[in-house]
Amino acid sequence: MFPARIDMVTLGVANVAASRQFYERLGFVASGFDSKDVTFFDMNGTVLGLYGRVPLAEDAGVSDKGDGFRAVSLAINLASQEAVDQALGFAESCGGRIVQPVREVFWGGYSGYFADPDGHLWEIAYNPFFELEEDGRMQLPPPAR
Amino acid sequence: MFPARIDMVTLGVANVAASRQFYERLGFVASGFDSKDVTFFDMNGTVLGLYGRVPLAEDAGVSDKGDGFRAVSLAINLASQEAVDQALGFAESCGGRIVQPVREVFWGGYSGYFADPDGHLWEIAYNPFFELEEDGRMQLPPPAR
């Protein structure tokens, strides 16, 4: 009835071209569907969309007023602390703003955060408790029941 | 250097247990890793995490102040208009708040939005231009270059 999927995460941005350039510097490759108004990146199982903040609000039928913490973060899990250091350093060199420097976290992992040009939060993490699939993705423990 | 993946989308929520119940009513099955503080759902290629809004802000090293539009939406793409109608109706019956009733959209698709208990936006869409994989996910056109 209701599928457990996230097919796309769309970020509302002030300037689609500038935001696209930022993500292309990170190495993401835009699909051939792009226009000046929207960009899509294949994120290995889900899609990252970039769309204007105002038209995104209009599309959702909500006010575009809002600021501060968005209560959403996107995470990439890597296989070691060193890989986290390198990826966060690379993000910073591409213009990402480090909002949380890497550190060991209370739950036993290691992570840091950067913000994209619009303040969207990305966490880069090493989690020694979750196995990674061959393609790098997190493997959750099975349901308890 | 920097992987094009979204391994997890974490939503900051006011009440993890209430939010978990909402998503369980939708049919999502929590992994065995859960605690009262955090819940993970396998979303067929990425993970949906629920975590307190305040500790999520702390984890990211940012202020937890903020309200209004979050400039983020999560989307599920379905194979027909009827499937969109059914899924949105089901979400509403589970306590989702319809913020954008289904309608034909200017780009040729058909979609509507609901908000979860914390106002996080989910779009349910039929897009006649993007093929769906066997597992239902969107298939982007290849890069232009």
Domain boundaries defined on chain A: 1-62, 72-133
Q: Report the candidate in A38, A51, A46, A10 with the shortest Cα–Cα distance to residue B121.
A: A10
- Predicted TM-score (pTM) of this structure: 0.92
Centroid of chain to Cα B66: 20
Collect all residues of chain B within an 8 Å Cβ-Cβ radius of residue A71: 11-13, 53, 56-57, 66, 70, 118, 120
> Cβ separation of B2 and A142 shorter than 8 Å?
no
Collect all residues of chain B within an 8 Å Cβ-Cβ radius of residue A144: 30-32, 34
Q: How far is the C-alpha of B127 from the C-alpha of A127, rounded, in Å?
A: 36
Q: Is the pLDDT of residue A126 over 90?
A: yes
* CB atoms closer than 10 angstroms to residue B96: 22
Residue A28 burial (C-beta neighbours within 10 Å; 0-12, 13-18, 19+): buried
**Where does the pLDDT of residue A54 fall: very low under 50, low under 70, confident under 90, or very high at 90 and above?**
very high
Q: Among 3.30.930.10, 3.10.180.10, 3.30.360.30, 3.10.20.30, what is the CATH number of B72-136? A: 3.10.180.10
B-proximal residues of A, 37-76, CB under 8 Å: 40-49, 53, 56-57, 59-76
CATH 3.10.180.10 fits A72-133, yes or no: yes
Residues 6+ apart with CB under 8 A from B35: none
Residues 6+ apart with CB under 8 A from A14: A52, A53, A117, A118
Q: A1-62 in CATH: which number?
A: 3.10.180.10
Among B40, B42, B56, select the one facing A73 at the smallest CB separation: B56
Give me the residues paired with residue B110 across strands.
B104, B126
B128 in A contact zone (CB under 8 Å): no
Q: How far is the C-alpha of A122 from the C-alpha of A120, rounded, in Å?
A: 7
> Cβ separation of A2 and B27 shorter than 8 Å?
yes
Q: Do domains A1-62 and A72-133 have the same CATH topology?
A: yes
* CB atoms closer than 10 angstroms to residue B27: 13
Q: Is the pLDDT of residue A145 over 70?
A: no
> Cβ separation of A44 and B138 shorter than 8 Å?
no
On average, the pLDDT of chain A sits at 92
Specify the fold of B1-61: 2,3-Dihydroxybiphenyl 1,2-Dioxygenase; domain 1 (3.10.180)
